[in-house]
Structure 1
Amino acid sequence: MTTIQSLHLHPTIIYRTPQFSYNGSWHTCWPPLKQSIAVSASAELNELLAVVQDETDLRRLPQNLRQTIWKYFNRATFRSTPYGAFAAVGVATIADAAQAQGLRIKDQYLHTYPDWLAHRQLEIKQEQVFDKNCLLLANSSWYVAGKDIRYISKEETGYELVDISSSGLIRTLLYSCEAPKAAASVCHEFAATYGEKEVKDAIWQMLADQLLFCSLQPNLSGQEYFERFGFTMREDTKPYIIAERPLASGDIPRSLLRHVPEVVALLAEVLPSYHATALNAFATAFAARFGEKEIPLMVALDPELGVGYGQMDQQVESPLIETLRQSAGNKEQEPSTQEFLIKAIAGTKQRIIQLEELSLPVRKNNLPLANSVPVICTVSDDLVYMEYAGGATANAILGRFSLPLTEIEQHCRQLAASEQAANPDVLFFDVSYAIGSVTDNVNRRKHIYPLQLSIHNFDTSEKPLHTGDLMVSVHGDQVFLRSKKWGKRMVPRFASGYNYMFSDLPLFRFLCDLQHQQVHKNLSLKLRDRISGLSYYPRLQHKNVVLSPETWLITINAINSLPGETVYERLKAYLAERHMSRYLKCGCGDQTLFFDTKDTEHLTALYDHLRKEKEAYFEESWLPVNSLIKDEQGNPFMPQLILTLTHQENIYTGLPEPFFGTSNNLIIPGDDWLYFEIFVHPSRTDDLVCSHILPFIAAHKTAVKSWFFVRYNQDGPHMRLRIQLQDQERMQQVTQQLFQVLKPWMETGIISDIRLRPYRRETERYGELFIEHVEQHFFIDTCFVTAVLTEDMCTDQKYLWALKLLTDCRELLLLPTGDFDRLIAANSAAYCSEHSLGPMDFKALNKAAKELNNNMGLTGSPALTVHYLNMLNSLTATVSIYEPRQRPVQFSALFHMLVNRLFACDQRLQETIIYYFFERSLKTFRAKAILNPCVQ
């Protein structure tokens, strides 16, 4: 977990200011405001405003049109989010010096580009591709699906998967153009084999089918496309504007922002970590279908060949399992920050609650912060209002401003390099995604990361990635991407402020969800978001940092019910009665209005807003007495800052070990293994093993060489039975007799189905060289488990045998003691995090562990002890055949399979309990050793 000691405030700060000073009026600012409106408003509104030249004309306008202009001016005066000319950005630095008093900024300068949709004016002709010797680049999403080529195509209704018949020439061209390649070079290379005309015709057809892109087509990142193309804006071309206010002089005092890093570190400890639901569902579905295999990314995301993306009753063995199972279904239960906040609000009449006085519970298993965390805040005198914090990288907020400002481009690249330096075992890559609408304006940016994957747009980077190079696998609850070319784990970044949740493209959504894996992105503590439905929320503050503003719910009925001759009298009385702030803000995100309740025009707008909405929440807002940012004439502006908090702690591990690659692991019925899936309720599986499978195996001991079973829930609860035959010719006889043994349960419906399936050995997990050794261990492991089941042991006895195994493995130095203890701690933490266990759950676990130690002793027959010793020896021998660096992973995998066989249901929760109990016993042992050095 990231600590305050490791979190640093980066000296480079991006400031954002509205177009106008808050000392101005919309009447005096009309000429520049009219120009700004002209760029963003509809043609109808611009036609109405064209005749307005001065204040006299303004006053003649209808009330509704005056209100529209007032809202535009309000946006251009009190809202700092850049949009057209309504707000601007600039770059400043933090100074430690006491004399740092703020910034002086120059006049606004407009960086003007053609609107993104202007590229539709450009028509590419076939002869241009070859006459200009354009670069050709394969669609990064293509892959082989049977006899066809499948890829992402952009149609009028959106993106879709398209199939075309494959041919040798098409595949040759796709492989040849994985990186940009000159058309002349491609034609020359393959003309002798296929003929020049055929190659050119194929290239043109592939361009038309969107299987190829050429350098005449748009790119979203890198050198600006219209500049690269030599595009000249026509008079009717709508502009895309990023406004800049260059710094004239000054610095920002560090003392003003000194508490921001500590409050972010605190929020990272008490707020729940974000886990993308779609990514979790993908990991579960992938693991169920492919295990730990590596699959090409596009195949994994294919709804037919893989598991797709974004689509998405068992018995209770003990009260403890029921408690933990309920927690696993509620991700917000651990620990309940909401409950603490509700108590804080209910228990005080104060208008300001200090966060540091609440003693919020710390979450033990929270994810670390990203290496660069953006913080957007508004500053008013000594107060810092934190509007947003979190995400996977600060470049997501800053990227769009790299297009016009070299200083921001350099800052973004420095952050990207710093992220890479902190995580040397992975490679970061940017995702360049074309939405196909005007929204693509915000996705335009310079190259920030050295590597880039472009989705459906041309790529001008030096080292473009393509999805065919990316392999996906799932280990534990983590999704891994590996580049075949670079041989490293790949971590995506999306250096754009576009809200990717609006996209319906599975590939893009997957990559954006994946960028948030392993980082704590959720750092907002706005009370109204955490506790809904209240009519009043006090301010939540940490020292001088406001986390949640004082907020009131106002209804039109409440105002109209008050006495008073006019609306203004009733509204003023209502505001005074509720002790509301003079300055209020209403709306959400960057769609907000600012109100000065002592200004009649503002009150008119406030009442008009309520009349339309019926009710609305209003937050306290501020106007600085002495603004941090002024222009060279001394006019003050509403200052908004984008801070970047950084740390150099390693977040991402490399590729999981061991990595064995792929092999021919398929065994079909008729070879030496038989594999059955027997669908039966979990409560019947132990009985199935003891009363049917064991007698069957005993009756066919001359035919059976080894066997084992695994419990599964995919496609319904079932048991997977795998039998290795002494003689393949006995396959039909063994199969028929097994069906005969199970026939009574099938007739009564206890067994709903039996399927004879091909057996895919898990060579990716265990290694092709070692899989037979592992299968032999599974046989010995199964013999021990069936001995336990035969003796009808209770759940606590099963815990004790599992704990004995962990104890013996530790004492036998299967791994060095320190490594073993760290493995136990890591596994325990991972399982507790998976099930979102909180204080009440840990209390129940501690109570159960104490009762187990006090009231229960290990029991079992001599025969069971023999089976246990055989299993222990087999486990240690199996783990020992691997390289030392691979042994922790293999031990965890083999122990996981033991627990799976030992318990009829909730196996992952049972494993959570066992690891927690054992880690607790280790802590107790170490504590006693410290208190009594004689304890060994």
Structure 2
Amino acid sequence: MNITITNRAVCRTPVFALSSTLELAWPNLKLLIAESSPEFYQQIAHINEPAIADLSEKLRFTIWKYFNRCRYRPTPFGEFASVTMIDNQKGDEHYIVLSELAHCHRWFDWSARGKVLSFSHYSLNTIISRNPTIYKNKFEFRYLYCDAAGFELTAIPAWEEIDQVITLCKSKVSIGEITQLLKDKLSYTEMESRGLISQLIELQALYSELQPNITGEDFFDRLKLRPKIKLPDYSISSRRHIKGSLPEVYIKSSQKYIEFIARLLPVVSNMDLDKFKLEFLQRWEQQSVPLPLVLDGLLGIGYGNSNYCVDSSLTALLKPQKEVHSMVELADFQLFLLNKLISGEEINLASYKVNSPLTPNPKLPNTFSMQLEIYNGKPVIYKAGGSTANGILGRFTRIDEYLAYARKLAELEQLSNPDVLFFDVAYAFEGKIDNVNRRAHIYPIELCLGTWSTADESLQMEDILVRIYDDQVMLQHRLTGKRLVPRIASAYNYHRSDLVHFRFLSDLQHQGLSSNLSFDLQNFFPHLDSYPRVTYGNCIINPKKWLLPRFDSLTDLRNWLLNKRFDHLLRIGNGDQVLIVDPQCETDIIFLHRYQKQQASPLYLSEGLIERSGTVGDDKGNTYHAQFIVDFEHRGLVYSKSPSDDDTDFQRDLKMPGSEWLYIELYMHPLAMRDFLNDEVRILVKSQGQLISKWFFIHYNNPEDHLRLRFKLRDPNQLHIILQGLCQVLDRSNGHGQLKKILIKSYEREISRYGLKRIDMIEQFFFLDSNLALLDISKSVEQRYERIVDFILKLSQRLFTDLEELVLYFGRMADMFAKEMNFDRGQFKVINAAYGEFTKKFSVKKKSLKIIICLFDKILYACPIKMREKLLADLIHLHVNRRFSQEQRLHEAILYQYLHKLCLKKRMMKNYVNTD
């Protein structure tokens, strides 16, 4: 994967130069305060700079924070800081010069958008579209409704007239077209039609073009609206680039850090996504299900911990909370860090001698960003990663050069992954904070949540299908069959949102990616009193940090700072909310003490790393504390295409009780299942063999341990005879107190998993395997292991004719299960010892499995090549499941270790013979 830096970078600079003084800056600072905080401005409007000293400490502290921000914090916010697009070009001119004068781009604040215009503003030409989240469930339409309190799922009846309108409005249409439809289909008058449309808009089942849009052309400009109430503008400040660029040495050293850290840090799994995958598979297995149904907290599985309501009752508050323990895992890298910590040295990650293999080809997003500053000729990397570089760029795309650059990055992502469609998610709910979500159209497709869409292609949520494929949550476009991947071009902190739809899509954009490339020593060893500086080559990755003790007395704080002998600036705070403190300045010490008293959590001071000479100046000779957003790109394939239609049939075959299929769940203790299968089920199958064409079973433990039995009847009219026979065998079990309960259910044939062409053969395979299982389950665990390994080898050799392919396949499966089971060194030692005993007795059996092997050959022939390995894994999984009533996954994990070792041994013997 060839990672390179893009040809553009963004330079961010505070409004005031490093040499600015409060005395000279005070008039301009007051103007900035007036814009951002009118209430506070009223308290200082008539105060001149000398009079600041006479103000209360609270007011002086606020002024100090504002001035501190204006000199040291380059995060763009109104006119407090500016952005500048610079070229990453090789050249000798490394000192970057910008214009002192900043240009302020202004828009009406998003909170001024007001209410949706009343229906009296609508004409027959007004464009209407349905709520993108709406979907039909039996006799109602369900969708997201938004009011001042937030989003909630609501429903309206699917009456004929509503059904007609909702169906028509899947595409954008005019009110005139809707009224004509209602007139032609249901003889509605124009007044009746307009009344219905008005109600549906009020209920938010329909959206109109007169509603706000957060993406695309600015809403106020599009409708030529002017707010009735004067509010502060939303603004972005930019400075003109005159000359200079980042030195190539900084870029190269930053790139080397990325290449190292991407291979070192594992992809962190998302707990909510992992839980979602598990619940989805338990509910729908391999089916493809519309996204709005899946995320419906009532009818689906929802996402995360949200069910569209918050339990604020006393019982909820009194529920015992799980205790969370933070534990340091001392793997090779952690041991390296620990040794460096103990020595008290600066930690250079480049000196880490790799004892365990690094990830050879980490899956990086096609574009991602790095936030860096320059200190004494060294890049200081504060943050790196993201699912797309457009996450930071999005809010600036109201400015033409940023839009052109962002679209170029989006185009690169799309060209690198031709079999997927990237889509943006337009989300609006938080009023003034939503300013950060305002952006132009960067990606050609978008999904809107709570906002009108002006995009040429706007997704309907019901056209997004969800399935689990290759252990990934995969979205598929129902209309084109292409895979869909969310790319949210906004720096908005999505963890603020309670909307599960938005959080799900936000989490999904990071799935499987190395999207967090930042390094923080504190994450490895939390709660220490101090941390050394961490570097990689010439890059500073973590500044030195010190835990700031809590001081009731200002004198104690002053003495602590003196004892530390700080001769440099200090930084306090996190992310964009940082302040710079001069430990030699009495004013700064006073306000540091006040700041600490306001914080509930422990505080860390870190090196300020601010270079007085700077690398960025203006055309008047002033120097600024600048931050750079540097973007990286690669053109490698990141996303595989969606499974073809042959792999996934989007149809159901639900067999209800009374059809040719009888599905029964029998709840009992796992220890009773073996005897029940050996006795009762064997008797039932034998006595009713004339009426049953096939049958099969599996063990299941959700919601509790039970057997799932499925019988296919030769004649559904004979069901009562089967049930009578079943009652007889169940009475016997019930008499022993083994049976807890019995459920008769509908049987959903697994067409989505196995395909319509193969499902009959698969069920026949299950039938044959269940009969074989009855011969195995009474044997010892060791004997069952021998028979299972023999069966799997015979089956696998029909797919893999080459021994090396077998070694690789069993190796992958063994590794996957070992990771799932979290096997440690001690457990592997136990498995190895058991394997040694196993090989003393194991030999390939001569018994014939001809019928089931021939059937497997037919199934393979009917299966697409790329699906065959997964099919084999599924059949092996169920084969093992039928032979153990408990810990089936653990047995499967052990068996794959055995199989891998057997094939390795066979390969070694083959090589030994060839050598001779």
Provide TM-score, normalisation by structure 2.
Answer: 0.91
Where do 1:715-864 residues align within 5 Å?
715-747=703-735, 749-794=737-782, 797-813=783-799, 823-824=809-810, 826-828=812-814, 830-835=816-821, 837=822, 840-841=824-825, 844-845=827-828, 848-849=831-832, 851-853=834-836, 855-857=838-840
Q: Which moved more, 1:843-852 or 1:6-15?
A: 843-852
Query: What corresponds to 1:398 in structure 2?
Result: 393
Tell me whether 1:12 sits opposite 2:8 in the alignment. Answer: yes
CA contact (8 A) 1:536 1:552 kept: yes
Gaps of 5+ in 2: 307-323
Structure 1 residues 427 and 285 mapped into 2: Cα distance closer, same or farther (>3 Å)? same
Measured after TM superposition, the shift of residue 443 of structure 1 is: 0.4
Structure 1 residues 715 and 618 mapped into 2: Cα distance closer, same or farther (>3 Å)? same
**Could you say what secondary structure the match of 1:411 adopts?**
helix
**Could you say what secondary structure the match of 1:292 adopts?**
coil
Separation (CA, whole Å) in 2 of partners of 1:338 and 1:219: 48
Query: What corresponds to 2:319 in structure 1?
Result: none
Query: What corresponds to 1:126 in structure 2?
Result: 119
Structure 1 residues 123 and 743 mapped into 2: Cα distance closer, same or farther (>3 Å)? closer
Query: What corresponds to 1:324 in structure 2?
Result: none
1:263 is aligned, of 257, 274, 297, to: 257
Query: What corresponds to 2:98 in structure 1?
Result: 104
Tell me whether 1:379 sits opposite 2:374 in the alignment. Answer: yes
CA contact (8 A) 1:491 1:515 kept: yes
Query: What corresponds to 1:890 in structure 2?
Result: 871
Measured after TM superposition, the shift of residue 581 of structure 1 is: 5.3
Structure 1 residues 360 and 98 mapped into 2: Cα distance closer, same or farther (>3 Å)? farther
1:652 is aligned, of 603, 614, 639, to: 639
1:694 maps to amino acid: R
Where do 1:22-171 residues align within 5 Å?
22-43=18-39, 45-52=40-47, 54-120=48-114, 124-130=117-123, 133-171=125-163
Structure 1 residues 243 and 30 mapped into 2: Cα distance closer, same or farther (>3 Å)? same
Separation (CA, whole Å) in 2 of partners of 1:691 and 1:298: 46
Q: Deviations over 1:666-721 (max 9, x none)?
A: 22233332211111233433333224322432343333332211121222121101
Structure 1 residues 440 and 336 mapped into 2: Cα distance closer, same or farther (>3 Å)? farther
Measured after TM superposition, the shift of residue 157 of structure 1 is: 1.3
Measured after TM superposition, the shift of residue 653 of structure 1 is: 1.4
Structure 1 residues 730 and 273 mapped into 2: Cα distance closer, same or farther (>3 Å)? same
Q: Which moved more, 1:222-231 or 1:521-530?
A: 521-530
2:128 maps to amino acid: L
Query: What corresponds to 2:858 in structure 1?
Result: 877
Tell me whether 1:182 sits opposite 2:174 in the alignment. Answer: yes
Measured after TM superposition, the shift of residue 834 of structure 1 is: 4.5
Q: Deviations over 1:418-458 (max 9, x none)?
A: 11112122111000011142111110001011111111211
Query: What corresponds to 2:313 in structure 1?
Result: none
Separation (CA, whole Å) in 2 of partners of 1:374 and 1:924: 47
1:645 maps to amino acid: F
Identity %: 27
Structure 1 residues 575 and 335 mapped into 2: Cα distance closer, same or farther (>3 Å)? closer
2:143 maps to amino acid: Y
Measured after TM superposition, the shift of residue 608 of structure 1 is: 2.6
Where do 1:277-288 residues align within 5 Å?
277-288=271-282
Query: What corresponds to 2:200 in structure 1?
Result: 206
2:176 maps to amino acid: A
Query: What corresponds to 1:344 in structure 2?
Result: 339
CA contact (8 A) 2:676 2:733 kept: no
Query: What corresponds to 1:624 in structure 2?
Result: 611
Measured after TM superposition, the shift of residue 378 of structure 1 is: 2.1
**Could you say what secondary structure the match of 1:428 adopts?**
strand
1:639 is aligned, of 626, 630, 633, to: 626
Structure 1 residues 701 and 17 mapped into 2: Cα distance closer, same or farther (>3 Å)? same
Measured after TM superposition, the shift of residue 573 of structure 1 is: 4.1
2:404 is aligned, of 400, 410, 424, to: 410
Tell me whether 1:594 sits opposite 2:580 in the alignment. Answer: yes
Tell me whether 1:368 sits opposite 2:355 in the alignment. Answer: no
Measured after TM superposition, the shift of residue 735 of structure 1 is: 2.3
Query: What corresponds to 1:249 in structure 2?
Result: 243
Q: Deviations over 1:128-153 (max 9, x none)?
A: 2106x222111101111221111111
Query: What corresponds to 1:326 in structure 2?
Result: none
1:124 maps to amino acid: L
Separation (CA, whole Å) in 2 of partners of 1:107 and 1:906: 70
2:571 is aligned, of 580, 585, 599, to: 585
Separation (CA, whole Å) in 1 of partners of 2:851 and 2:652: 31
Tell me whether 1:704 sits opposite 2:656 in the alignment. Answer: no
1:125 maps to amino acid: S
Structure 1 residues 802 and 257 mapped into 2: Cα distance closer, same or farther (>3 Å)? farther
Separation (CA, whole Å) in 1 of partners of 2:692 and 2:422: 51
Tell me whether 1:501 sits opposite 2:483 in the alignment. Answer: no
Separation (CA, whole Å) in 1 of partners of 2:623 and 2:820: 50
Where do 1:688-699 residues align within 5 Å?
688-699=676-687
Query: What corresponds to 1:388 in structure 2?
Result: 383
Separation (CA, whole Å) in 2 of partners of 1:152 and 1:800: 55
Measured after TM superposition, the shift of residue 777 of structure 1 is: 0.7
CA contact (8 A) 1:270 1:337 kept: no
Separation (CA, whole Å) in 2 of partners of 1:267 and 1:116: 39
Structure 1 residues 254 and 686 mapped into 2: Cα distance closer, same or farther (>3 Å)? farther
Tell me whether 1:192 sits opposite 2:184 in the alignment. Answer: yes
Q: Deviations over 1:736-757 (max 9, x none)?
A: 3333323354355433211111
Q: Which moved more, 1:514-523 or 1:867-876?
A: 867-876
Query: What corresponds to 1:522 in structure 2?
Result: 516
Separation (CA, whole Å) in 2 of partners of 1:651 and 1:331: 33
Query: What corresponds to 1:231 in structure 2?
Result: 225
Separation (CA, whole Å) in 1 of partners of 2:848 and 2:360: 37
Measured after TM superposition, the shift of residue 264 of structure 1 is: 2.2
1:777 maps to amino acid: F
**Could you say what secondary structure the match of 2:643 adopts?**
coil
Structure 1 residues 855 and 205 mapped into 2: Cα distance closer, same or farther (>3 Å)? closer
Structure 1 residues 359 and 660 mapped into 2: Cα distance closer, same or farther (>3 Å)? closer
Structure 1 residues 645 and 803 mapped into 2: Cα distance closer, same or farther (>3 Å)? farther
Q: Deviations over 1:8-51 (max 9, x none)?
A: 222211111111111111221111111111122152x1111111
Tell me whether 1:450 sits opposite 2:433 in the alignment. Answer: no
Q: Deviations over 1:307-335 (max 9, x none)?
A: 222238xxxxxxxxxxxxxxxx9999888
Measured after TM superposition, the shift of residue 400 of structure 1 is: 0.9
Q: Which moved more, 1:480-489 or 1:105-114?
A: 105-114
2:654 is aligned, of 661, 666, 669, to: 666
**Could you say what secondary structure the match of 1:245 adopts?**
strand
Structure 1 residues 127 and 582 mapped into 2: Cα distance closer, same or farther (>3 Å)? same
2:130 maps to amino acid: A
1:736 maps to amino acid: Q
Separation (CA, whole Å) in 2 of partners of 1:882 and 1:551: 58
**Could you say what secondary structure the match of 2:605 adopts?**
strand
Separation (CA, whole Å) in 2 of partners of 1:480 and 1:827: 21
Measured after TM superposition, the shift of residue 294 of structure 1 is: 1.6
Structure 1 residues 551 and 792 mapped into 2: Cα distance closer, same or farther (>3 Å)? same
Q: How many residues align?
A: 895
1:684 maps to amino acid: A
Query: What corresponds to 2:311 in structure 1?
Result: none
Measured after TM superposition, the shift of residue 810 of structure 1 is: 4.6
Separation (CA, whole Å) in 2 of partners of 1:262 and 1:307: 43
**Could you say what secondary structure the match of 1:671 adopts?**
coil
Provide TM-score, normalisation by structure 1.
Answer: 0.89
Measured after TM superposition, the shift of residue 906 of structure 1 is: 3.3
Structure 1 residues 59 and 434 mapped into 2: Cα distance closer, same or farther (>3 Å)? same
CA contact (8 A) 2:341 2:532 kept: no
Structure 1 residues 96 and 926 mapped into 2: Cα distance closer, same or farther (>3 Å)? farther
Separation (CA, whole Å) in 1 of partners of 2:113 and 2:569: 44
Structure 1 residues 338 and 589 mapped into 2: Cα distance closer, same or farther (>3 Å)? farther
Tell me whether 1:532 sits opposite 2:513 in the alignment. Answer: no
Structure 1 residues 852 and 919 mapped into 2: Cα distance closer, same or farther (>3 Å)? closer
CA contact (8 A) 1:431 1:494 kept: yes
Q: Which moved more, 1:499-508 or 1:898-907?
A: 898-907
**Could you say what secondary structure the match of 1:731 adopts?**
helix
